Chains A and B, each alone.
Chain A
């Protein structure tokens, strides 16, 4: 196992105050360590010196909870394709490297402390329609709803979103279109999601705008940064669903009509 000598430039900030980059030397980092384990080592050393450790969000450390974030060398979740920060390993860096570490930056994700941001806007978008209204106990026998394998697989592609916000951090407009498109797209694709499709699409898009995310100008940085490789084709679908929903809302008194899945 090799040891790396690194130099970090880490964003330090307290909520509501201006932030700054702090220079931290990180010598002798095992190359088998994950990026967050490197941060653990750095924090242990800061604590030993009587300094305050760097606050960062993390939890499952296996790439699924979506809690970890960090923009590393300008890229959300760092340079490795389809990889969250917690799954990024130090063998991807070289000794002597300088690593810039920043929070996910977006107006809709205010900084709480250092690298920790408030991403609760995503929850509020979900509350604005990201569900199927079905009471516990009122479901029909599962195999009464047939879903072709291709449709189920497509829905699963969208459903793989971990809600981390890398798409927003990667976008120059801080747009949340990929996130909203994936979340709405999963349900808008499945038969279970058809009855509320119009309400859902309008609700989620309007909430997204309300939260202060920027508009989508088709840069596709989001897709490149997404650790789950969610395709921008979902954005196309969301635009289509939104157009249809807007027309229905304008001419159909907002009432849902029967429509097939697409």
Chain B
């Protein structure tokens, strides 16, 4: 099926202005007649729900957490990029655009990225007006810091809690609209199914996580703002509840899933300490502004305490390999370099899966107080988890799954190939290509929600009669029955293994075969084992309790059932993409120095997978990517 990305014509810098000019308008009186369903209340969902309600649409917003304020955007630490050029260091919209396209290893859609860079400046204005307490200079102006993949200082931040503060800003806007009656908020309410009527997304099926009630909701369009699928790996920096269910269900109803193999492994996380571990904790990339990454030069030194290893016996491998970016090399590159060092037997800490992030020099240079002011909360968190003080000895870090660049395919209007289904934030695929730069996720979630969807949603809605479909439609009845029967099937199973044990086994398999480095044989093995594991899940899972009350095991079981299916597509995509790019590293495709080797001749496209009813045989649709402004080149940070 041909994919129409609906990229506006004209010069890159004018496309978004032109598109805004050409987009449809709905008069305020008529907006009230349209119902918009927003699933998810993170940065993308909360900002979209609030902004659309301000415009006059009727909004129904859903989140599985007990409050919209708890969505996992809240955990983002480091910052948000914007091309304000407040530092007078040569930043511009074009430079942010360029850095993001290059950072994404030339697998993002240029026009979307340019729009993102343009809107970045408006986001900062909006958030400041809401009362987001960004860091300031003494004179009262906004402060900035540097982040990976850029040589300018364009990152705005609120201590190590930028995501929290931006989300609380969006949540306050959402609250304002809830109070006004524009948004109907459903908390502790999880989407189980998308309802498609005559080829259009017209509603969702939800389960109330307190009463267990399964319900249908109809709307004129559905916005999925449901985040990424990183928890397919079981261990990740995602919150425990993050899941693929909403996007996967939409995929099975016809929405194409694009580039699932682009997964981001964040270089600075606290290493795994044992089998019982339930999640991995990120240490903000901002730490790399002042911390120096190293491992011992000699494997024999790995067991020694760090301070006993002399300066000349340390390998500051990022500074050595990437002199111009040094410790601020992009995430994919830094992660792989850590893995290489550990594979080389020079890793530190339990199991040898760790590298040092050392602040000794920064503490000497700026003093302990300055470092504490910059990163105090992160150092505290590190000490709580590991029992070690990073003021006294270097942190131990190791890469962990953090973000997923792939997601549902969308056009320039953020609409999926399935009409009426819009996808925002991490849940879509378009802006980060094969690798996301630090401080760009917050930017994208808010750009989509505050500034893009309020313009583009009208292009779809004008083609629809408001309220044209209600929950009386037979498709809603069918979907309700489908969801109820899956719940019964999970509860009726007479198996013996817990949901978590299946999730853990799936995660280990996917991490092992489709993690930081992938190869054909491993992926083929994963593709043999995933369906077997899925089969066993349905035969042998045990879900205690009932469906008509709060039941956390049942919630997890439904999510893991979807991960079991999704994992197969993830590995299929990784197997088909015979190149290395960004977060997707195929060991068969590398330069002699170990750098990722792209194949622009054959793979310069977004792979948009179509569900066929047979999980083993999805159909590949391609959106060819063209690069008008940033010319294809080997990505180098040396």
A-B contact pairs, 22 of them (CB 8 A): A32-B273, A47-B553, A48-B498, A53-B553, A60-B72, A60-B75, A60-B240, A61-B240, A62-B282, A65-B75, A122-B67, A134-B130, A136-B450, A136-B451, A139-B122, A142-B84, A148-B139, A149-B140, A156-B133, A162-B164, A163-B69, A186-B131
In the complex, the answer to whether A67 meets B70 with C-beta atoms within 8 Å is: yes
Question: Residue B155 at the A interface, CB < 8 A?
Answer: no
Instruction: Using A87-B381, A113-B550 as known contacts, list a sample of 6 further A-B pairs with CB atoms less than 8 Å apart, ordered by residue number in A.
Output: A36-B278, A50-B544, A59-B70, A123-B175, A140-B125, A160-B161
Q: Which residues of the other chain, B, contact A153 by a CB distance below 8 angstroms? A: 133, 136
Contact of A47 (CB < 8 Å), options: B129, B131, B276, B542: B542
In the complex, the answer to whether A40 meets B278 with C-beta atoms within 8 Å is: yes
In the complex, the answer to whether B124 meets A152 with C-beta atoms within 8 Å is: no
In the complex, the answer to whether B50 meets A156 with C-beta atoms within 8 Å is: no
Q: How far is the CA of A33 from the CA of B187 in the complex (A)?
A: 30
Contact of A149 (CB < 8 Å), options: B69, B136, B179, B387: B136
Question: Residue B92 at the A interface, CB < 8 A?
Answer: no
Q: Which residues of the other chain, A, contact B454 by a CB distance below 8 angstroms? A: 136
Beyond A48-B498, A62-B281, A91-B387, whether A53 also contacts B544 by CB under 8 A is yes
In the complex, the answer to whether A66 meets B70 with C-beta atoms within 8 Å is: yes
In the complex, the answer to whether B133 meets A186 with C-beta atoms within 8 Å is: yes
- Stretch from B166-174, B245-253, B287-295, B329-337 that touches the partner: B166-174
Q: How far is the CA of A33 from the CA of B273 in the complex (A)?
A: 8
Q: Which residues of the other chain, A, contact B142 by a CB distance below 8 angstroms? A: 142-143
Mark contacts of A18-54 with chain B using CB atoms, 8 A cut-off: 1 yes-contact digit, 0 otherwise. Answer: 0000000000001011101100110010011011110
Contact of A131 (CB < 8 Å), options: B86, B136, B176, B273: B176
Beyond A44-B498, A147-B140, A156-B159, whether A136 also contacts B54 by CB under 8 A is yes
Q: How far is the CA of A15 from the CA of B212 in the complex (A)?
A: 13
In the complex, the answer to whether B65 meets A59 with C-beta atoms within 8 Å is: yes
Q: Which residues of the other chain, A, contact B72 by a CB distance below 8 angstroms? A: 59-60, 65
Q: Which 10 A-B pairs have the closest CB atoms?
A: A146-B140, A139-B129, A131-B172, A139-B125, A152-B136, A155-B133, A136-B51, A156-B133, A142-B128, A127-B179
Beyond A47-B553, A64-B75, A141-B125, whether A132 also contacts B66 by CB under 8 A is no
CB distance from A126 to the nearest CB of B (A): 5
CB distance from B21 to the nearest CB of A (A): 16
Q: How far is the CA of A113 from the CA of B124 in the complex (A)?
A: 41
Question: Residue B614 at the A interface, CB < 8 A?
Answer: no
Q: How far is the CA of A137 from the CA of B54 in the complex (A)?
A: 11
In the complex, the answer to whether B84 meets A61 with C-beta atoms within 8 Å is: no
Q: How far is the CA of A58 from the CA of B450 in the complex (A)?
A: 29
* CB closest residue in chain B, given A159: B133
In the complex, the answer to whether B130 meets A192 with C-beta atoms within 8 Å is: yes
Question: Residue A216 at the B interface, CB < 8 A?
Answer: no
Question: Residue B482 at the A interface, CB < 8 A?
Answer: no
* CB closest residue in chain B, given A116: B550
Beyond A30-B276, A130-B175, A132-B130, whether A142 also contacts B549 by CB under 8 A is no
* CB closest residue in chain B, given A119: B66
* CB closest residue in chain B, given A40: B278
CB distance from B53 to the nearest CB of A (A): 10
Q: How far is the CA of A135 from the CA of B178 in the complex (A)?
A: 14
In the complex, the answer to whether A61 meets B138 with C-beta atoms within 8 Å is: no
Question: Residue B210 at the A interface, CB < 8 A?
Answer: yes
In the complex, the answer to whether B550 meets A55 with C-beta atoms within 8 Å is: yes
Question: Residue A202 at the B interface, CB < 8 A?
Answer: no
Question: Residue A248 at the B interface, CB < 8 A?
Answer: no
Question: Residue B239 at the A interface, CB < 8 A?
Answer: yes
* CB closest residue in chain A, given B51: A136
Mark contacts of A215-259 with chain B using CB atoms, 8 A cut-off: 1 yes-contact digit, 0 otherwise. Answer: 000000000000000000000000000000000000000000000
In the complex, the answer to whether A128 meets B179 with C-beta atoms within 8 Å is: yes
Question: Residue A112 at the B interface, CB < 8 A?
Answer: yes
Mark contacts of B183-218 with chain A using CB atoms, 8 A cut-off: 1 yes-contact digit, 0 otherwise. Answer: 001010000000000000000000000100000000
Question: Residue A89 at the B interface, CB < 8 A?
Answer: yes
Question: Residue A118 at the B interface, CB < 8 A?
Answer: yes
In the complex, the answer to whether A63 meets B381 with C-beta atoms within 8 Å is: yes
Q: How far is the CA of A187 from the CA of B278 in the complex (A)?
A: 36
In the complex, the answer to whether A146 meets B498 with C-beta atoms within 8 Å is: no
In the complex, the answer to whether A87 meets B129 with C-beta atoms within 8 Å is: no
Contact of B274 (CB < 8 Å), options: A1, A88, A133: A1
Q: Which residues of the other chain, B, contact A80 by a CB distance below 8 angstroms? A: 384
Q: How far is the CA of A67 from the CA of B282 in the complex (A)?
A: 18
Q: Which residues of the other chain, B, contact A99 by a CB distance below 8 angstroms? A: none
Mark contacts of A184-228 with chain B using CB atoms, 8 A cut-off: 1 yes-contact digit, 0 otherwise. Answer: 001100101100000000000000000000000000000000000
Beyond A50-B544, A130-B172, A143-B141, whether A155 also contacts B553 by CB under 8 A is no
* CB closest residue in chain B, given A193: B131
In the complex, the answer to whether B47 meets A136 with C-beta atoms within 8 Å is: yes
CB distance from B365 to the nearest CB of A (A): 21
Q: How far is the CA of A162 from the CA of B171 in the complex (A)?
A: 13
* CB closest residue in chain B, given A46: B544
CB distance from A124 to the nearest CB of B (A): 9
Beyond A37-B276, A65-B74, A135-B54, whether A58 also contacts B138 by CB under 8 A is no
Q: Which residues of the other chain, B, contact A88 by a CB distance below 8 angstroms? A: 384
**Residue of B135, B185, B279 with highest tally of chain A CB at under 10 A:** B279
In the complex, the answer to whether B501 meets A44 with C-beta atoms within 8 Å is: yes
Q: Which residues of the other chain, A, contact B69 by a CB distance below 8 angstroms? A: 66, 123, 163
Q: How far is the CA of A219 from the CA of B531 in the complex (A)?
A: 58
CB distance from A164 to the nearest CB of B (A): 10
Question: Residue B380 at the A interface, CB < 8 A?
Answer: yes
* CB closest residue in chain B, given A36: B278
Question: Residue A71 at the B interface, CB < 8 A?
Answer: no
Beyond A51-B544, A134-B130, A156-B158, whether A87 also contacts B385 by CB under 8 A is yes
In the complex, the answer to whether B74 meets A64 with C-beta atoms within 8 Å is: yes
Q: Which residues of the other chain, A, contact B239 by a CB distance below 8 angstroms? A: 59-61, 65
Beyond A128-B179, A142-B125, whether A40 also contacts B276 by CB under 8 A is yes
* CB closest residue in chain B, given A162: B164
Q: How far is the CA of A52 from the CA of B66 in the complex (A)?
A: 22
Question: Residue B323 at the A interface, CB < 8 A?
Answer: no
* CB closest residue in chain A, given B124: A142
* CB closest residue in chain A, given B387: A91
Q: Which residues of the other chain, B, contact A148 by a CB distance below 8 angstroms? A: 136, 138-140
In the complex, the answer to whether B131 meets A139 with C-beta atoms within 8 Å is: no
In the complex, the answer to whether B67 meets A123 with C-beta atoms within 8 Å is: yes
Contact of B165 (CB < 8 Å), options: A62, A142, A159: A159
Mark contacts of B109-123 with chain A using CB atoms, 8 A cut-off: 1 yes-contact digit, 0 otherwise. Answer: 000000000000010
In the complex, the answer to whether A152 meets B133 with C-beta atoms within 8 Å is: yes
Contact of B158 (CB < 8 Å), options: A61, A120, A159: A159
In the complex, the answer to whether A87 meets B124 with C-beta atoms within 8 Å is: no
Question: Residue A73 at the B interface, CB < 8 A?
Answer: no
In the complex, the answer to whether B544 meets A65 with C-beta atoms within 8 Å is: no
Question: Residue A82 at the B interface, CB < 8 A?
Answer: yes
Within 8 A of A (CB), among B587-603: none
Q: How far is the CA of A8 from the CA of B556 in the complex (A)?
A: 24
Q: How far is the CA of A50 from the CA of B497 in the complex (A)?
A: 11
In the complex, the answer to whether B141 meets A192 with C-beta atoms within 8 Å is: no
Question: Residue A83 at the B interface, CB < 8 A?
Answer: yes
Q: Which residues of the other chain, B, contact A63 by a CB distance below 8 angstroms? A: 381, 384
* CB closest residue in chain A, given B64: A59
In the complex, the answer to whether B384 meets A89 with C-beta atoms within 8 Å is: yes
Q: Which residues of the other chain, B, contact A145 by a CB distance below 8 angstroms? A: 128-129
Q: How far is the CA of A140 from the CA of B124 in the complex (A)?
A: 10
CB distance from A32 to the nearest CB of B (A): 5
Beyond A52-B544, A60-B74, whether A143 also contacts B384 by CB under 8 A is no
Q: How far is the CA of A137 from the CA of B281 in the complex (A)?
A: 35
Q: Which residues of the other chain, B, contact A82 by a CB distance below 8 angstroms? A: 380
Question: Residue B467 at the A interface, CB < 8 A?
Answer: no
Q: Which residues of the other chain, A, contact B128 by a CB distance below 8 angstroms? A: 139, 142, 145, 192
In the complex, the answer to whether A132 meets B131 with C-beta atoms within 8 Å is: yes
Question: Residue B500 at the A interface, CB < 8 A?
Answer: yes
In the complex, the answer to whether A146 meets B179 with C-beta atoms within 8 Å is: no
In the complex, the answer to whether A47 meets B137 with C-beta atoms within 8 Å is: no
* CB closest residue in chain A, given B278: A37
* CB closest residue in chain A, given B156: A142
